[in-house]
Amino acid sequence: MSEELLIRRLKAALDVAPADPALRARVISSLPLDRHHARAQRRSWAPAIATGLAIAVVLGLALTNPLRSLPNRHPGNVPLSECQLPVYGYAPYEIDAQTVYEVGFLDASTGKFTRVSSRISPADEARMDRTSPNITYDRAAEAWVPVRSNWVSADGMSYVYLAGNDIHIRSVWSQSDRVLLTGEPVALLGWSGGLIYYATRVAYASDLWALDAKTGKSRQVVPMQSMSEWWIAGPTAIWGSPYYSGKIERYDTKTHAISAWSADGLIELVGLDSSGNPIVRRGDRAKPPGEMAVMHGDRSATSLDAADDTFGASDLTVVADGGRIWFSAPGQRLWVYSSDTGLLLLDQSSNRPLPNGLVVAGGCVSKDEVSLQAPATG
């Protein structure tokens, strides 16, 4: 490539965000009138601001702690600059030839990883697949639970899990455990609208069931259909995909209507955003799906990523966090998307020590919440 062309492309690539016409007026008007004392004034504000923040934090803790049993903190309300991201991964050592996972919080501003004790019970640890665990930080209960996020109830006080063919429900704090369903093998999809959804699968056919945790009774909501599979429970719908169709299927838990959503090319369901909209990877028959998008309806989607190779065909973990969506993939790769910022990528050059195989375990929490967690020992 000629240098001239390279430079032309460089200019064109940078010339994409013209300055706000009001920037100059805004900047100049923000300057302190007394420039000789500006620096001193700025410094003198610092203790006052710090005191104010400290008071706010103390007040915040005083107000929130008595309500500890309620889901009083809402995902997504922590700014990215203050975000402590719950993550887990594998420690670089083994005990008794078993891979050891570790949990902690990743400071989104500095990249610092704070390891904490998961306090996951030995019984749960024994049941977990330690080479590929699913761990969620249950923010409402301020606890780490050994299941994927949509297996945790909406109030965060209990979670469901599979033990063999049985569906159990367990209280996060008391650890009291109850078998809800026993019998044939099922695929546990998670909570939606206060009910637990699961599917039974026979060859290339699947049906869908809703289970009431209070009564223990379940009813079939979608009959067995061939070439069908249900995957994820969201806040208002259950999502699946007919085999080899390149489409996704939506079962509305309120109206019980089933609709098929499609887009140009093949789509693969990878997760849901906070509103329950499906996050899909899009591709075509010539190459595996790669481009990421959020769908809002049949043939309606917003691309999260202009390129189709950012996420590749990686095995992704997707976590909805209010207006943000977190993605993690093997190789300690982390992304966050919001409509305000677009897609942001963890800068690998920070070269900070992080657990191997980093996986996002929940939405952002504040530093105060992290300080309530017990630091890991050893």
Interface with another protein, residue 70, by CB under 8 A: no
- The nearer residue to another protein, 107 or 368, going by C-beta atoms, is 107
Interface with another protein, residue 182, by CB under 8 A: no
- The nearer residue to another protein, 238 or 346, going by C-beta atoms, is 346
Interface with another protein, residue 46, by CB under 8 A: no
Contact range with another protein by CB under 8 A, out of 124-132, 188-196, 204-212, 344-352: 344-352
Rounded to whole angstroms, the Cα distance separating 227 from 247 reads 12
> Who contacts 170 (Cβ-Cβ below 8 Å, separation ≥6)?
158, 159, 160, 161, 176, 177, 178
Shortest Å, Cβ 188 to another protein? 32
Interface with another protein, residue 307, by CB under 8 A: yes
Interacting residue with another protein among 79, 341, 371, 375 (CB under 8 A): 341
* Beta partners for residue 114, in sequence order: 105
Interface with another protein, residue 267, by CB under 8 A: no
Interface with another protein, residue 22, by CB under 8 A: no
Interface with another protein, residue 7, by CB under 8 A: yes
Interface with another protein, residue 44, by CB under 8 A: no
Shortest Å, Cβ 235 to another protein? 23
- Tokens 């065909």 map to which residue? 313
Degrees (nearest 5) of the Cα angle 169, 75, 180?
A: 10
Structural contact between residues 324 and 304, judged by C-beta atoms closer than 8 angstroms? no
Nearest Cα neighbor of 235 from 189, 270, 280, 293 is 189
Interface with another protein, residue 184, by CB under 8 A: no
Interface with another protein, residue 326, by CB under 8 A: no
SS (HEC) of 23-63? HHHHHHHCCCCCHHHHHHHHHHHHHHHHHHHHHHHHHHHHH
Contact range with another protein by CB under 8 A, out of 66-74, 85-93, 95-103, 298-306: 298-306
Structural contact between residues 167 and 188, judged by C-beta atoms closer than 8 angstroms? yes
Shortest Å, Cβ 130 to another protein? 30
- The nearer residue to another protein, 121 or 350, going by C-beta atoms, is 350
Interface with another protein, residue 303, by CB under 8 A: yes
Interface with another protein, residue 285, by CB under 8 A: no
Rounded to whole angstroms, the Cα distance separating 92 from 106 reads 17
Shortest Å, Cβ 375 to another protein? 22
Annotate each residue in 73-112 with x if it binds another protein (CB under 8 A) or - if it does not, as one string: -------x---------------------------xxxx-
Return the structure tokens found at 301: 């989607």
* Beta partners for residue 196, in sequence order: 191, 211
Annotate each residue in 108-137 with x if it binds another protein (CB under 8 A) or - if it does not, as one string: xxxx--------------------------
Nearest Cα neighbor of 201 from 227, 179, 175, 219 is 227
Contact range with another protein by CB under 8 A, out of 95-103, 197-205, 252-260, 306-314: 306-314
- The nearer residue to another protein, 152 or 294, going by C-beta atoms, is 294
Contact range with another protein by CB under 8 A, out of 13-21, 58-66, 115-123, 247-255: 13-21
> In whole angstroms, how large is the CA radius of gyration of the chain?
24
Contact range with another protein by CB under 8 A, out of 119-127, 163-171, 335-343, 356-364: 335-343
Nearest Cα neighbor of 81 from 107, 63, 116 is 107
What secondary structure letter does DSSP report for 229? -
SS3 224: strand
Q: Transcribe 120-152 into DSSP letters.
A: --HHHHHHS-TTS---EEETTTTEEESS-GGGB
- The nearer residue to another protein, 6 or 55, going by C-beta atoms, is 6
SS3 164: coil
Binding site for another protein (CB under 8 A): 1, 3, 5-17, 19-20, 23-24, 26-28, 30-36, 38-39, 80, 108-111, 263-264, 291, 293, 300-308, 310, 335-337, 339, 341-347, 350
